[in-house]
Structure 1
Amino acid sequence: RFSHGGGAVQDRVVEMLGIGHLLQRRPAALSGGERQRVALGRAILSSPRLLLMDEPLAALDQARKDGILPYLERLRDETGLPILYVSHSAAEVARLANTIVLLRAGRVAASGPAAQILSDPATAPLLGPREVGAILSARIEAQEADGLTRLASAAGPLWLSRIDSATGAVLRLRILAQDVMIALDRPTGISALNVLAGVVRDLTPDDGAMLVRLEAGSQTLLARITTRSAQALALHPGKPVHAVLKAVSVAPGSIGSGSDPSISRHAPPARDSRSV
């Protein structure tokens, strides 16, 4: 157990991980997520030079994973401690990683900044068609009366289902390629709230479909559409298009705190693979 009176460092770790109310409880009385947070605290207080986390959330259900991910984000952002995080979960890696190394059969298949690797069509076979997507950095501008949160990003304004973070908070959004539609002209009379202007960067065939990489402002989006749709729209590199995204497409688990250093921070005003 932790003890009281461990000094300022211990107090900071206890506050960061939200475990103050657990200090007098025995290990057997802790839930799986609580045990993971206490284990993190003990590891940090040992003054490591690097933290190795090998699938730390694999044994937890989704609710407990969602509960501990914000603490891992704080650990990443507030301690300055290098973390080697090993996971099969693209969702976890997208929320936490700044740099990604994809391994296949024990060899490095791809490596680089998180936003670059996750939106690269070449990594789609490693991630799987339902996991490939892009990371956007956005800042909360307002909580609106109808339950939506308005955000500003370098790609354009976004509206998502309410996000429980303060105005001004910088977030990392994972946008799955399967949730992005493409239109040649800015559509009107549709229910989707998010329409982002962009330019086609490249097209990559992907298991009977087409991955279309778009440049929207200084950020990258990825759309997975049928080959027939790509042909009907006569898509080609350099063609102006609009990316369409429903507000409800971005699940709460795809929204994390902080931005990837590889993404522009200047928003305009208002698998058999293992990932590390």
Structure 2
Amino acid sequence: MAEHPLASGASTAIAASPVATAATGATPAGTPGSPLPAAGIEARFAVDYAGFRLDVDLRLPGRGVTALFGHSGSGKTTLLRCVAGLEPAARGRLVVNGECWQDDARGIQVPTHRRELGYVFQEASLFPHLSVRRNLEFGLRRIPAAARRVQLEHAVALLGIEALLERMPDRLSGGERQRVGMARALLTSPRILLMDEPLAALDHRRKQEILPYLERLHDELDIPVLYVSHSPDEVVRLADHVVMLGEGKVMAAGELHATMARLDLPTAFTEDAGVVIDGTVAAHDDHYHLTRLDFPGGAVWVQRQAVELGRRLRFRIHARDVSLADHRVEGSSIQNLLPAIVEEVVGADTPAHVLVKMDAGGTPLLARITRRAAEQLVLRPGRRMWAQIKSVALLG
């Protein structure tokens, strides 16, 4: 039996309307003797409605994409509206990268039109009598030239709408309208971008068309984004941080990779359970048309990708696509093998299956196998196994 390698430790922008312009002048954050770090978002809200209560207390990163994830009615959009100042009944405190926009204890309530934010809704409501260019310029003109952090040319290039500038809104597809709406939101030079299920109204083809532009915004802009979605595919492709909401409460909040691998959350007990990994393109095998992705704990081979060496690619390994063996199996069609140590075994969504969480050199893995197989392999925490990965799903 081969020695186990780990044995030795190895949408529409609010700012386009008169009630939602970006502006300066927010109140400084913090209280005497306890300053709040400038980088980060503090969001503490309580909202009571008949039959529903939102009660959250969050500390979120001040950059990157934070996904607000949960089923319909979990409170995602209500939380986003609280951040925008659109929920009059919301009580609490909101600080965005050092600027306090709400603090009921101190009598601070910055109105929506003075909060430096962009808001993208499910459907872009562009001004129908204005061309795309004039729609964009409408939002841009509301920001003093000295306060503009995003220029028209930059926003147009990021969203790939150069060829659309002279068109009227009724000549745009749904995906094109959303891209224009996103560009208009960016041109308000927001300190935070709020996106409320911007792909929900699009069919699959249009979603695939617009996702690369959302990834480009993520990679090139230093603006924190709160992204509402109930789609696991969107969350794992775009997010850095995730907040899982249920019945108006925070079920989990944390870095995406670690949160998606947790076994104490409902998402772990479905057929869609799996982990998300960021890999680096390390090699191309032109003979077999394969690309190797390296990551802490190992490497996987995937179909040849037309990208340069060193490029970061995110991929997902579903628990259902991982089998386990107590030794390295030779002579198999499964080529992606990773040594891993069992951390936890729990029941799955059927009595016939279990979920196994493992550590592959610092990278979490999940496997969904039968309870019978788990007992025959004598799976327990600390057990060294080989994870056999039958399929890798590239994201993007």
TM-score bracket, normalised by the shorter chain, equals 0.7 to 0.9
Provide the rounded CA distance (Å) in 2 between the counterparts of 1:126 and 1:135.
Answer: 13
Residues 31 and 41 (structure 1), Cα distance of their counterparts in 2 relative to 1, 3 Å cut: same
Q: Check conservation: 1:95, 1:174, Cα contact below 8 A.
A: no
Equivalenced residue count is 251
1:89 paired residue number: 231
TM-score normalized by the length of structure 1: 0.85
Q: Check conservation: 1:90, 1:127, Cα contact below 8 A.
A: no
* Pairing 1:106–2:248 present: yes
Write the letter of the residue equivalent to 1:29: R
2:331 paired residue number: 189
5+ residue gaps, structure 1: 257-276
- The Cα shift of 1:164 comes to 3.6
Q: Check conservation: 1:181, 1:244, Cα contact below 8 A.
A: yes
- Please identify which structure carries the higher helix content: 1
2:285 paired residue number: 144
1:73 is paired with a residue whose SS is: helix
Provide the rounded CA distance (Å) in 1 between the counterparts of 2:209 and 2:323.
Answer: 31
Write the letter of the residue equivalent to 1:141: A
2:384 paired residue number: 240
- The Cα shift of 1:87 comes to 0.6
Provide the rounded CA distance (Å) in 2 between the counterparts of 1:175 and 1:52.
Answer: 29
Root-mean-square deviation (CA, aligned residues, Å) is 2.0
1:65 paired residue number: 207
For residue 2 of structure 1, the aligned residue among 133, 144, 167 is: 133
For residue 166 of structure 2, the aligned residue among 17, 24, 27 is: 24
1:66 is paired with a residue whose SS is: helix
Q: Check conservation: 1:134, 1:175, Cα contact below 8 A.
A: yes
Deviations 1:68-111 (A, max 9, x none): 11211121221111111111111111111111111111111111
Residues 91 and 38 (structure 1), Cα distance of their counterparts in 2 relative to 1, 3 Å cut: same
Write the letter of the residue equivalent to 1:2: R
2:264 is paired with a residue whose SS is: helix
Provide the rounded CA distance (Å) in 2 between the counterparts of 1:250 and 1:180.
Answer: 10
Write the letter of the residue equivalent to 2:272: E
**After alignment, is 155-164 or 90-99 more displaced?**
155-164
- The Cα shift of 1:127 comes to 5.6
Deviations 1:237-260 (A, max 9, x none): 1111111112xx2334xx24xxxx
- The Cα shift of 1:128 comes to 5.0
1:130 paired residue number: 271
TM-score normalized by the length of structure 2: 0.60
- Identity percentage over the alignment? 45
Provide the rounded CA distance (Å) in 1 between the counterparts of 2:285 and 2:166.
Answer: 41
2:304 paired residue number: 162
5+ residue gaps, structure 2: 1-131, 141-147
- Between structure 1 and structure 2, the one with the greater Rg is 2
Write the letter of the residue equivalent to 1:177: A
Provide the rounded CA distance (Å) in 2 between the counterparts of 1:127 and 1:176.
Answer: 10
Deviations 1:43-79 (A, max 9, x none): 0001122111111111222222222112111212211
